[in-house]
Every structure is written in C-alpha cells, then in structure tokens.
Amino acid sequence: MFQGSFVALITPFDKNGKVDEAAFARFVEWQIREGTHGLVPTGTTGESPTLSHAEHKRVVEIAIEVAHRRVPVIAGTGSNSTEEAIDLTRHAKKAGADAALIVTPYYNKPTQEGLYLHFKAIADAVDLPIIIYNIPSRCVIDMSVETMARLAKHPNIVGVKDATANLTRPQHVRRACGPDFCQLSGEDHTALTFLAAGGHGCISVTANVAPRLCKELHEAWQQGRVKDAVAIQDRLLPLHDAMFAETSPAPVKYAASLLGLALETCRLPLAPLSEATRNKVRAAMTEVGLLN
C-alpha cells in the first residue's frame, strides 16, 4: 500500500513558539517538489506530545490541504489514551488522510492483550487504514510479532512503522502477517537493510533536509540498482549520525534552519542544541552536499 521515502515532518514554530502555519505549508510544498513519496505529520518528529489537540488537528489539515492528493498523507494520531487516539483518528479521516500512524501507548505499559485491545478499539471505531508505530526506545513497550499478527487480521490494520532496529523483525513479521502487510522502517541508519529484509519503505527524519537523496535511495532499490542504493546510503551516513547526535527533532530542526526552511525552535522539554552538536550537524550537511 505504501512504499518508498516518507518524511516524518517537523512542525515549525515561530519566534514566539507558536505553530508557524505558513512555514509548514511552504515546507510541505518543498518536500513534494523534491520528490518525497509521502508525508507523515504530527509524529514524534513533529513534536506531537507538545501540541495541543487543536494545533495537532490543524497541522494534519495543512499537510492534507497542501498535498492535495499528490502524495499520500499518513497522519500521526496516537495517544496513550485510547479515547484520545480514536478522536484524533476520526479527525484525520474527516480531514482526508490516507492512513493513520498510531504509536503504542507510552507510559501506561499495557500488556500484549492491552495493546491488542487498544488498537482493535481504534480500528473498530474508525474506517481508516492504520499503521502501528512500534518504538520501544520511547514507549518502553515492544509489541510482539504474535500480537501484531493478531491485529493484522483486522481489515483496517495494514502495516507497521518498525523502530526497533531489530533487523530480524521484518522477516518474522512478514512470515506472521503476510507479504502484503506494509512494513516501514523507523530507523534511517538501517533503512536499506530493512528493505533487504522484506520492508517496503522508511518514515525518515533525515528526509526533512535531504528528501531528494532519500527518495533516490528507495527508487534505486525498487529498480534493482542495489549498488546505487548502497552508495546513497553511504553518502547519507554522516547526516543520519548528526540527526541523532541529540534527542530528535532538535538536530533536524537546526539542519532545516540552515537551509532556511524553518526556525530551529523546539518546545520544552527539548533543549537548544549544544555547540558541539551544531558543529556536527553543519559539518554533516556540508559533507553530504546540502550546504556550500
């Protein structure tokens, strides 16, 4: 259903810390011009935990309005409250999203049965394709392959964003859920290896500032040009390293500011970047060829 390079969109803020709607609209348009295969607003990279519900919904609406069906939009609608997740997913469907990205419930630490019931409740409530977002490093829970296979039987649950960095996982998921269950990597560093293990694409942080290179990597892979894909991944490596030198999305927002795409402002509790990380980001951008 979904394949290639999807960008985990940043949410630009103005100098007063408010959502900069005009900058976000321009950023989405630039992403599409650069060839990004799809858009993912209001995820972790979009600082969704610090957005009000009204801001969250408006950011989703802008992405959909600007995309205007040129590329798919997978709206982040997750919450550790099932009712909140249902409300945000209903809004995404009404706004015209192509799918919803729903993170495993953080902080609550549900059992595997709790995970199953949470996602089933959302899928039963909203007729919209759902991508499970499994990111144990942030949520402190890992959805098992067995639980995912149970959920994959639901017609509205169509795939996973896998940020486990476990490269045996896509093979087990493919075996348990079938080849049509969409597997998108959530790890830029391992995106190419994930494709080789049976994945379909990547929801990328790096694509915020290198959308053309990221989409070229996926297109090279899809066309069987493996050496070209490896060469692009090698070229992107220092940028991947820099994007995660401190907690994301602070580095990528600084990188976007260097390109004049948005201010580097993040909302607390994310701190401004250290000078050492700023230097690392700038050096990586220069090495990759994004800055003169």
Q: For the residues of 23-46, what is the DSSP string, one character each?
A: HHHHHHHHHHHTT-SEEE-SSTTT
Q: How many domains does the chain have?
A: 1
Domain that holds residue 57: 4-223
CB burial of residue 15 (10 Å; 0-12, 13-18, 19+): exposed
The pLDDT of residue 172 is 97
Catalytic residue among 161, 215, 253, 280: 161
What are φ and ψ of residue 214, in 5° steps?
A: -65, -45
> Does residue 102 form part of some domain?
yes
Instruction: Evaluate whether residue 238 is within a structural domain.
Output: no
At residue 154, the pLDDT reads: 98
Residue 286 lies in a domain: no
pLDDT at 240: 98
Written as six digits, the tokens of 181 are 């269950």
* % of the chain at pLDDT higher than 70: 100
> Angle at Cα 96 formed by Cα 92 and Cα 100, nearest 5°?
40
Answer whether residue 239 is part of any domain: no
Alpha-carbon distance 61 to 205, whole Å? 21
Please give the pLDDT value at position 190.
94
Residue 51 within any structural domain of the chain: yes
- 133 catalytic, yes or no? yes
Kindly state whether residue 263 falls inside one of the protein's structural domains. Answer: no
Catalytic residue among 116, 133, 253, 254: 133
Does the pTM surpass 0.95? The reply is yes
Q: What is the pLDDT of residue 237?
A: 98
**CATH number of 15's domain:** 3.20.20.70
**161 is known as an active-site residue:** yes
Give Cα separations from 268 to 17, 77, 119, 133, 271 (angstroms): 10, 21, 29, 23, 6
Q: Is residue 55 part of a domain?
A: yes
Question: Is the peptide bond preceding residue 269 cis, with omega within 30 degrees of 0?
Answer: yes
Q: Please check whether residue 288 lies inside any domain of the structure.
A: no
Q: How confident is the model over 64-78, as pLDDT tens digits?
A: 999 999 999 999 999
Full pLDDT tens readout for the chain, 292 residues: 799 999 999 999 999 999 999 999 999 999 999 999 999 999 999 999 999 999 999 999 999 999 999 999 999 999 999 999 999 999 999 999 999 999 999 999 999 999 999 999 999 999 999 999 999 999 999 999 999 999 999 999 999 999 999 999 999 999 999 999 999 999 999 999 999 999 999 999 999 999 999 999 999 999 999 999 999 999 999 999 999 999 999 999 999 999 999 999 999 999 999 999 999 999 999 999 999 8
